[in-house]
Amino acid sequence: MYNHMFERDLLYPTDNPLEPGSVHVSVLSPDIDGRLPVLISSKSEHNPIDYIDDVVEVIQADIFDRIRIDIRDLGVLFIHKSEEEYTKIIYENGKPVIG
């Protein structure tokens, strides 16, 4: 079982500057491959997958730059879709790969 190491709510830009997106971010303990699992749950009507580069940029700047970790290289992102369903995203060559 994974333990939550850190949790935070963040805002990210959308197509409408008057309606920013909002997500809840949970950073879990590293998995056996050494990657940091990051759970992302939407708190607004926006779909974080539609803005994934902006969401990751905000997460990187607000959380991971402080501890000098590049989440694109060392993380695996899970976007919460429904009760038990998540979309997995990893970065390869600087591009998000949705799996």
**What does the chain look like in DSSP terms, one character per residue?**
---EEEEEEEEE--SSTTS-EEEEEEEEPP-TTS-EEEEEEE-SSS-GGGGHHHHHHHHIIIIIGGGT--HHHHEEEEEEEETTEEEEEEEETTEEEE-
Q: pLDDT tens digits, residue range 57-79?
A: 999 999 999 999 999 999 999 99
- Total count of residues recorded for the chain: 99
Q: Which two tokens stand for residue 80?
A: 């919460």
Domain boundaries, the chain: 4-98
Lowest mean pLDDT among 25-29, 32-36, 64-68, 85-89: 32-36
pLDDT at 63: 96
Q: Which of 28, 32, 35 is nearest to 71 (CA)?
A: 35
pLDDT at 3: 78
